[in-house]
Amino acid sequence: MKNYLDYSNEVRNALEEGKPVVALESTIISHGMPYPKNVETALLVERTVRESGAVPATVAIINGRLKAGLSHDEIEYFGKKGTAITKVSRRDIPAIIAAGKDGATTVAATMIISALAKIDVFCTGGIGGVHRGAAITMDISADLEELARTPVVVVCAGAKAILDLQLTMEYLETKGVNVIGYGTDELPAFYTRSSGLKVNCRMDSPSEIAAAWQVQKELKIGGGLLVTNPIPAEYSMDPIYINHEIDLAIEEMKKFGIKGKETTPYLLEKIQKLTAGKSLESNIQLVLNNARLASEIAKNLK
């Protein structure tokens, strides 16, 4: 891995000393929010992880090097370049490395690099999944396949609300991915705390989740563990209101013919505008909430 992977000094020292480490993705910086809010949020999430007793490892690709842990200047660089940086999933990693380019890592790519770096816990906002209308478009996020194959605990607020949540859950079940509800029996729906869909396992403490992960690793079952953590109640949005705005955004997206990996960034930005910034504030708060839980899980790992 020395030929491809660099650690920040903070992350390297933490791993060598057996301290808890939490991986963070970089697409939330380059593709998730406008500058300078993206940089402010990334640094706030890192600070939240530290305050929770763990070490943050923001993951990215810079000049063809896999990075586990970014400096303040590197986060600023990603924030300023924004969507000019390539959004990288599993398929893109080899080409980006070979070309010596920069890459902002999605959930799938962050899972891969986290596993290579021996980091067990990864915090994100929401995972990708089966898009609405996928029966025709076949638009299914690589995040779901990665959860089935790469051994990392992923803490999120459910799948993004722009998706077909029922089909996403069916896909995860088919792939044998354990979907845990933290303190809930229902799948959270990103901006809201419930979706009406049951998770297959409820756990009420970080230690329970850590213990389940230890068993999964020791039995060599393979694949990841998906922990869904509801957005704090005070930041949860009204389901009727936010779903209406999502429907409007999707109709506009279809009109403009936006497809593939450009879909999620477009919809999130459009929904932010339609809700006058309310969805962005909810997004930030759910990521911070996930960072706290991810840190507690990491602290409970042996």
Q: Catalytic one among 67, 87, 160, 270?
A: 160
DSSP, collapsed to helix, strand or coil, labels residue 153 as: strand
- Tokens read off for 145: 């396949």
DSSP, collapsed to helix, strand or coil, labels residue 121 as: strand
Alpha carbon distance 287, 158 (integer Å): 11
Torsional sign, CA 227, 233, 237, 238:
positive
Burial class (CB in 10 A: 0-12, 13-18, 19+), 65: middle
Q: Catalytic one among 25, 46, 146, 269?
A: 25
- Tokens read off for 253: 């997206």
* Residue 188 CB neighbours (<10 A): 27
Q: Report the candidate in 202, 199, 212 with the shortest Cα–Cα distance to residue 159.
A: 199
* Residue-by-residue DSSP string for 248-274: HHHHHHHHHT--GGGHHHHHHHHHHHH
Judge whether 186 counts as a catalytic residue. Answer: no
- The residue type of 294 is A
DSSP, collapsed to helix, strand or coil, labels residue 31 as: coil
Q: Where are the alpha helices (DSSP H) in the chain?
A: 9-16, 27-30, 37-51, 72-81, 93-99, 107-116, 134-137, 142-149, 165-174, 206-218, 239-256, 263-274, 278-300
Judge whether 10 counts as a catalytic residue. Answer: no
Alpha carbon distance 7, 293 (integer Å): 23
Task: Tell me the sheet residues that pair with 68.
Answer: 7, 59
Q: State the residue for tokens 């990103």.
A: 190
Which residues are the active-site residues?
25, 160
